[in-house]
Structure 1
Amino acid sequence: MKNPTETPVWQHGADLLVAQLETLGVNHVFGIPGAKIDKVFDSLLDSRIQIIPVRHEANAAFMAAAVGRLTGRAGVALVTSGPGCSNLVTGMATATTEGDPVVALGGAVKRADSAKLVHQSMDTVAMFRPVTKFAVEVTEGCALTEVVSNAFRHAEQGRGGGAFISLPQDIVDNPVSGLPILPKHPVLLGAAPDSAIETVAGYIGRAKNPVLLLGLMASQCENSAAIRRLLTKSHIPVTSTYQAAGAVGQEHFPYFAGRIGLFNNQAGDRLLRQADLIITIGYSPVEYEPAMWNSGGATLVHIDVQPAEIDNSYLPDTELVGDISATLDKLTARISSPLTLSSESAAILEDRHKQRHLLSVQGQKLSQFALHPLRIVRAMQDIINSDVTLTVDMGSFHIWIARYLYSFRARQIMISNGQQTMGVALPWAIGAWLVDPSRKVVSVSGDGGFLQSSMELETAVRLKANILHIIWVDQAYNMVAMQEEKKYQRVSGVNFGAVDFKLYASAFGAAGFAVESAELLEPTLRKAMDTQGPALVAIPVDYADNPLLMGQLHLDQIL
């Protein structure tokens, strides 16, 4: 350019788009090219951004979601028009429900063709609007940077979620003038008003059986640290949804009643039923519906970055809306002395800790083959140390893991309970590994869920990702099966055939392992864990005790 004050002209809109992504600090773009969007892929070659070609568009969104959840900065998916976009919908719905910031860029036909019945013409903005926080089409090249900047702001601010941008082919192919918009500092919230915090401090001072219920936003690192400071001073009993795994530190385990979700029968549920004060922190009803845990007899406090989503069973008496960690620290400062546990709360917590000890001591003695879920959880606990990230798919195993596998690092575990989407674990693991290649990532699925995204094993091999994927094998959609059996006393549409997963892994170039007897479980897991690069281990599981998950399960019924 001759004059530095002149607005530069870019040969292609795609070049300005990529420059904007670079300015926003994007490191990876996950996607699949096509004719309507291939100029963006071409422009990416001249940038510092790494292109990660995937094998299905939904998995691009899952990988981007892992980046978003673990960094707080939106991951990016890039797909072509028509089915490229429609394949992305499940991934974006999952990201929005789970609070994961993702920006999806979808190709579209030329603007002149948008009202015609032409190849891959589709109203993708209307399709994405219900499952994202922000969905627009760029209608003028000069608006490219504005739209992209706003998409990132919507995806990242408050409770995260998906944002979608439709990019007509002529917008990305034709010349455009403009400058990348420099990123602004994140919008910082202050603490909730002092008067409201004072009110909640009064509730705590008068309560006999207060309980903290932690949700997804509680597991953000700064919020988790503030919760730990609150627990140190208050000794208030605490439970969490599956998505808040790792928010509570090991030093506060005496007050932790475990995780709750899906079925109302856990120690945390019992605490909530007898509570006179319930304080939710970073919680959304999509994580565990309020009717399952809120009897309406307790004073209810909502602490979050946004006002409560009102539900007939979720009508807070007081809302502390603002920066969660700052609000909690102000609340902590107003607590004068630790809570003296009621006998009811103390008994629930003591029983929970006895069950954990029972599993630790006795779990390895479950010697039947195929293996009991608790035997596998017990073996997994030994390999999931604080340096390992764990991603968990959807299925019966997800309940056993959520209830009985412990984590004490914020966001160490990625687990779904919003859309309960199958197939997320492996693509999540790839995204998590790219965020921090120094950490081993373990992902877990059933044989049903694995085959919904198993094509990404090739992506993991191509990237040399240090990932171990564990498959619980039972040749059925067993989480569905146990619910059908309870409702109808028979099952329908849940059984499928066997796969040689060890051979399957080898066909992709990954290391394959299979557990062939109970006594080989631990040594096989350790060998697979020690493998550098992608590895897969198949473990036959016996789900005969699954019906107990739906009742008042106490581990001495099994161990």
Structure 2
Amino acid sequence: MIDYGIKYVFGIPGAKIDQLFEELEHNSNPKKPQLIITRHEQNAAFMAAAVGRLTGKPGVVLVTSGPGVANLATGLVTATSEGDPVIALGGQVPRDDLARLTHQSIPNQSILAPVTKNSVEVQNPNNLSEAFANAYQEATDTKNGAVFISIPQDVIGGTVTRPNMRVTPAVEQGVPAQSQLAEVASKIKQAKMPVILAGMRASQQRSTQALRQLLKQTPLPVVETFQGAGVISHDLEDLYFGRVGLFRNQIGDVLLKNADLVLAIGYDPIEYEARNWNQDQKGIVINLDTVAPELTQDYQPELILQGDLADTLNALAQLLQDDYQMSEKTKNQLRTIKQQFDQRDVPPEKVVNGVQHPLTIVQELQKHVDDSTIVTVDVGSHYIWMARHFRSYEPRHLLFSNGMQTLGVALPWAITASLLHPDQQIVSVAGDGGFLFSGQELETAVRLHSNIVQLIWVDGYYDMVRFQEQVKYGQEAGVKFGPVDFVEYAHSFGAAGLRVDQDHDLQSVLDQAFATEGPVVVEIPVDYSQNAQLKQELLPDQFH
């Protein structure tokens, strides 16, 4: 781990793997990873995945055998589906106990194989270095994801006679054939309404920079997926037509539906299935990515270009220099749609007893952050409002779980973001249901002195399920839970706690929260009465 520059290891110890924890805690090497003890293995996996998403390098999670390993499953499937590199290390019973019904003996390798890119169990101490080297390479090879290494207790305590593996350079991808690039450029020049769909891999730092350079010389309208958030910078905002995901009823959906060419860049179908945005598609689709796309009846691109995204976009830009001009008619149509899109962010003015409309919370939060602020978002009704209406202008600064839609990710992700950026204030947004999936990590945040503003939108329901049940069945089931005093909850962990109510308005409470050092929890009552609109049918075709 030292050789590979691993900075943090997240986890919980146990007897089968405690020797490695002892080494991490007491080793005198100043370059050793910092050991971050969490309150649940699942949250440790989330924290490791956030390292992967924010840095592009694998985060490491370390747990003990039995339930320690089993508790990794949700975190690892989230990382693998959403493209976050992770190396998971799990303890195992001694090798001669593997076939016995002994304490905490479970088939580690088999259990985690379906949720990782690769799952191995090391049977010889001399193979440990090889296993880690291959895990690092596998986790960072496209598509990024999680890799698991199971280590029996007698292997971790065994004698190693071989030297460490050398750190090998990353595998670099090339640029697609010049003839393919020329064909893409030609089709863009011929198109009346070309639209870019920017997906999760478009939000990698180099790819985003290259895409922005392309857009400055060839201004094309851009629709982001939720994980593509932030690829459009402030100076390119005129080209931003929102994000698509979950329900097919956004301005971006209208653009994609009417495009005669969709340039899908770094798009992954797990973010937003093609059967949603590509339904009844009349135009052609071109796929630019680092991986070959999954082909379905709804996604059959006319051209597929595979290679390094940044280099591919830079090469394409050279072929498009000053050559594409959008018609005035199309420009006017886009301006009209853009005006309507921007108006959708305006909240109602009326506030009753401190209960806030979702757009009011989004708008007020927007005023308290800048482009450098990292905002992590949990899953729930609030996540839809945030994804549709919150503006972010830097890649991977607005984080969503959009592949698995995993509850509980926001606070663990925020803790990692605070570790990586200790001088910045991090924002975490959750509902009152999802927050308690990982709320115990508030103690971890306090222990690490994390500068986190944790917003909790409170309504007393698993509301993302509730409003969809109401739309489908006219009633609801299994979605209500009891109240929690989140201010007192925060105080019990040693964090600050604030509440928005009829005597404490949202703006002043957020002012106080952002002026507070360390973790602060803000309880905000929210009015979700307009949520049924989130699932409305596709907007009227505004091109006719």
Q: TM-score range by the shorter chain?
A: over 0.9
* Counterpart residue number, 1:137: 121
- In 2, the alpha carbon distance for the partners of 1:518 and 1:196 equals 63
Give the one of 28, 46, 61 matched to 2:8. Answer: 28
- Secondary structure at the aligned position of 2:227 is classed as helix
- Secondary structure at the aligned position of 2:99 is classed as coil
Q: What is the CA-CA distance between 1:253 and the residue it aligns to? A: 1.3
Q: What is the CA-CA distance between 1:396 and the residue it aligns to? A: 0.4
**Residue range with higher mean Cα deviation, 262-271 or 382-391:** 382-391
* Counterpart residue number, 2:514: 529
Give the one of 189, 207, 226 matched to 1:223. Answer: 207
- In 2, the alpha carbon distance for the partners of 1:154 and 1:327 equals 23
- In 2, the alpha carbon distance for the partners of 1:22 and 1:358 equals 49
Instruction: Give the letter for the 2:310 counterpart.
Output: S
Give the one of 169, 175, 186 matched to 2:170. Answer: 186
- Secondary structure at the aligned position of 1:399 is classed as helix
Change (3 A) 1:519 1:509: closer
Deviation by residue 1:226-270 (Cα, 9 ceiling, x = unmatched)? 111111111111101000000111211112110000010111100
1:212-291 matches, cutoff 5 A:
212-291=196-275
Q: Percent identity of the aligned residues? A: 45
Alignment of 1:468 onto 2:450: no
**Partners of 1:76 and 1:103 within 8 A in 2:** yes
**Partners of 1:392 and 1:444 within 8 A in 2:** yes
- In 2, the alpha carbon distance for the partners of 1:35 and 1:341 equals 69
- Secondary structure at the aligned position of 1:286 is classed as coil
**Partners of 2:458 and 2:524 within 8 A in 1:** yes
Alignment of 1:486 onto 2:471: yes
Aligned-pair Cα RMSD in Å: 1.5
- In 1, the alpha carbon distance for the partners of 2:502 and 2:409 equals 28
- In 2, the alpha carbon distance for the partners of 1:143 and 1:525 equals 52
- In 2, the alpha carbon distance for the partners of 1:518 and 1:313 equals 52
- In 2, the alpha carbon distance for the partners of 1:415 and 1:341 equals 36
Change (3 A) 1:491 1:345: farther
Q: What is the CA-CA distance between 1:276 and the residue it aligns to? A: 1.0
**Partners of 2:85 and 2:144 within 8 A in 1:** yes
- Secondary structure at the aligned position of 1:187 is classed as coil
* Counterpart residue number, 1:401: 386
- In 2, the alpha carbon distance for the partners of 1:474 and 1:252 equals 36
Q: What is the CA-CA distance between 1:315 and the residue it aligns to? A: 1.0
- In 2, the alpha carbon distance for the partners of 1:486 and 1:387 equals 38
TM-score scaled by structure 1?
Answer: 0.93
- In 2, the alpha carbon distance for the partners of 1:131 and 1:298 equals 35
- In 2, the alpha carbon distance for the partners of 1:491 and 1:552 equals 21
1:544-555 matches, cutoff 5 A:
544-551=529-536
- In 1, the alpha carbon distance for the partners of 2:140 and 2:231 equals 20
TM-score scaled by structure 2?
Answer: 0.95
Alignment of 1:101 onto 2:85: yes
* Counterpart residue number, 2:542: none
Q: How many residues align?
A: 532
Change (3 A) 1:342 1:103: farther
Change (3 A) 1:478 1:298: same
**Partners of 1:209 and 1:274 within 8 A in 2:** yes
1:438-517 matches, cutoff 5 A:
438-517=423-502
Change (3 A) 1:34 1:355: same
Deviation by residue 1:53-88 (Cα, 9 ceiling, x = unmatched)? 000001001000111111111000000001001111
Change (3 A) 1:484 1:140: same
**Partners of 2:248 and 2:538 within 8 A in 1:** no
* Counterpart residue number, 1:363: 347
Change (3 A) 1:51 1:291: same
- Secondary structure at the aligned position of 1:213 is classed as strand
1:123-162 matches, cutoff 5 A:
123-162=107-146
- Secondary structure at the aligned position of 2:103 is classed as coil
Give the one of 20, 30, 39 matched to 2:19. Answer: 39
Change (3 A) 1:67 1:353: farther
- Secondary structure at the aligned position of 2:424 is classed as coil
* Counterpart residue number, 1:389: 374
Change (3 A) 1:82 1:341: farther
**Residue range with higher mean Cα deviation, 516-525 or 362-371:** 362-371
**Partners of 1:256 and 1:349 within 8 A in 2:** no
Q: What is the CA-CA distance between 1:345 and the residue it aligns to? A: 6.5
Change (3 A) 1:214 1:177: same
Q: What is the CA-CA distance between 1:552 and the residue it aligns to? A: 5.5
Q: What is the CA-CA distance between 1:182 and the residue it aligns to? A: 2.6
- In 2, the alpha carbon distance for the partners of 1:469 and 1:169 equals 39
- Secondary structure at the aligned position of 2:147 is classed as strand
- Secondary structure at the aligned position of 1:365 is classed as coil
* Counterpart residue number, 2:402: 417
Q: What is the CA-CA distance between 1:158 and the residue it aligns to? A: 1.5
**Partners of 1:232 and 1:252 within 8 A in 2:** yes
Change (3 A) 1:30 1:515: same
**Partners of 2:241 and 2:341 within 8 A in 1:** no
- The structure richer in helix per residue is 1
- Secondary structure at the aligned position of 1:240 is classed as strand
Give the one of 377, 399, 421 matched to 1:436. Answer: 421
**Residue range with higher mean Cα deviation, 438-447 or 183-192:** 183-192
Gaps of 5+ in 2: 540-544
Change (3 A) 1:293 1:61: same
1:299-378 matches, cutoff 5 A:
299-335=284-320, 336-341=322-327, 343=329, 346-357=332-343, 359=345, 362-363=346-347, 365-368=349-352, 369-378=354-363
Q: What is the CA-CA distance between 1:134 and the residue it aligns to? A: 1.2
- Secondary structure at the aligned position of 1:434 is classed as helix
**Partners of 2:251 and 2:341 within 8 A in 1:** no
Gaps of 5+ in 1: 1-20, 555-559
Deviation by residue 1:403-457 (Cα, 9 ceiling, x = unmatched)? 1010111111111110000000000001111112122110000000000000000
- In 2, the alpha carbon distance for the partners of 1:455 and 1:269 equals 38
